[in-house]
Amino acid sequence: MNRNTRRRAALYGGAALVAFAVLALPRLVVRKAPPVRIRQLDVPKAKADESVALLTALIRIDSSNPPGITRGVVDVLANAFACEGIPYEIVGDDRERPILVARLAGRTREGALLLLNHVDVEPPGKLDAWVVPPFAADMGPGNDSMYLYGRGVLDMKGQAVAGFYGMASLKRAGVVPLRDIVFVAEPGEETYTPEIGIGWVLTHRPDLLAGVTDVFNEGGVNETVGSDIHRFGIEVMQKATISLYVDAEREEDLKKLAESLIDVDKKAPYRLVGPVGEFLQFIGPSRNDIWGRAMVEPERVLHAAWFRQWAPDVYKALVRDGFYPGRPEKHGRGWRMELAMTLLPGSSTEEALARLDRWIAERGLRRTVHFITPESVASPESGRAWDTLQTVLSLDPERAQVGIYVLSISYTNSALMRAHGYRAYGVSPFNVNINDASKIHHPNERIILPYFVEGVERMKRVLLEFATRD
């Protein structure tokens, strides 16, 4: 074979290999890769579901807090319970901010389950930032036509609707639960004023919660990959929060306070407490960032210099107490800065507040308490309600793993319920990706409508399991 022949053989042989790679390898990769489930979103069918009509009605009532006027939402829910023949009471000291308590009677009150829902919502902010008006409850335009937009679809009128239909489905089927199921719709959550909501019930009408041992509330987080849920996260713990307003005559004084707190924050001791280690090991495999993946071995990275220096606060906040000074803003004739501190279990809110007061007073500044949550307590991974969630979510068509979730810089009224001795769990029945979840408290809060209907059906299965579980 002469040189030209060899060159042609190499050239065409190489071309043949390239052609094989282009044409054949993708097929081999597809065969080896795990199958990707293609979702068929039947939006017209979802629109016809009765749960969507109720959700739409609730969203169209502006219950922004402040001012938190929730009477209209409670009236709609009360009518819905009345139509199902489920007894309810409307209580509270504020006629414009009432509390609805409904109870589906079972064979015993002992071991009852509370579905805790707040019906006030975060104010919508700048209206021109919304794709559709925040209280129109309209579908999105163009490529977003599968979404229902509206303030409260996720936080948390949508979950209240799911809980209602879970109870209604039992009543319609003639199922008498082995234990009572109680539904509460409260105001005041967005401004953390539980004393006008579930806190009022605990103080003034504890009889309405007679027999309740477990609570399902918002706060659960389901981690998605593509269009599928890969992990159902049940919230069992959140850090305690101290929120203050600090006032000064000069902006510079607030900036210096913020700088000193950030310096203290950098030196805060790291510690692995409560269920945090288990939570990090649960979520680590699904994270695509190096920090999340590293946390599958939390003990190893806890004291690593690279973790302390470079890890984002979403992870560091889980292993230390933290300060979060806001930006100073003009307030009257002076300046005001919002300041938050979050605390792990074992840290006293009383001692932390005293320390903050000392630092503030040393600088001649003044503070006003915005709110202080109870100290951090974790709910146990045991009991009838916990076992119900484990059973139903493990058998869910999503075929996702089920585990615990810990909130590091968020709070719900589950903290209050845990402080009163209840086993409280944050649960989300919905398939919501991280992009859509980030719109909670921001413009364009939305949910894919067929996923909302799927979530309602999921909650029905949860309550049926609880109702029939020995």
Count Cβ atoms within 10 A of the Cβ of residue 213 and give its class: 0-12 exposed, 13-18 middle, 19 or more buried.
Answer: middle
The sign of the torsion formed by the CA atoms of 232, 373, 214, 112 equals negative
Mutual angle of helices 157-173 and 449-468, in 10-degree steps: 50
Domains and CATH numbers, the chain: 43-238+377-468 (3.40.630.10), 240-372 (3.30.70)
Decide: residue 47, CB within 10 A, 0-12 exposed, 13-18 middle, 19+ buried.
middle
Q: Residue 94 contacts by C-beta under 8 Å, 6 or more apart in sequence?
A: 187, 196
Task: Categorize the per-residue pLDDT at 35 as very low, low, confident or very high, splitting at 50, 70 and 90.
Answer: low
As a whole number of angstroms, the distance between CA 332 and CA 356 comes to: 23
**C-alpha distances in Å from residue 70, one per residue of 176, 197, 205, 433, 456:** 31, 11, 20, 28, 23
Confidence label for 36 from pLDDT (cuts 50, 70 and 90): low
More confident of the two residues 444 and 30: 444
Q: What is the pLDDT of residues 62-103, one digit of tens each?
A: 999 999 999 999 999 999 999 999 999 999 999 999 999 999
With tokens 């800065």, the residue in question is 337
Beta carbons of 408 and 418 less than 8 angstroms apart: no
Give the model's pLDDT for residue 286: 82
The pTM is what?
Answer: 0.90
What's the residue count for the chain?
A: 470
Q: Identify the residue with better confidence: 230 or 292.
A: 230
Reduced to 3 states, what is the DSSP secondary structure of residue 330?
strand
DSSP SS3 for 391:
helix
Query: Taking 60 as the threshold, does the pLDDT of residue 16 lie above it?
Result: no
* pLDDT value at residue 1: 44
**pLDDT value for 8:** 34
Sign, CA dihedral 109-110-115-117, equals positive
Q: CA nearest 435: which of 223, 266, 235?
A: 223
Confidence of residue 195 (pLDDT cuts 50, 70, 90): very high
Q: Which pairs with CB-CB distance under 8 Å and at least 24 residues apart come from 438-441?
A: 439/154, 440/122, 440/154, 440/155, 441/122, 441/155
* Largest separation between any pair of C-alpha atoms in the chain: 101
What are residue 429's phi and psi, to 5 degrees?
-85, 0
pLDDT, one tens digit per residue, over 108-164 is: 999 999 999 999 999 999 999 999 999 999 999 999 999 999 999 999 999 999 999
As a whole number of angstroms, the distance between CA 140 and CA 448 comes to 10
- With 60 as the cut, is the pLDDT of residue 451 above it? yes
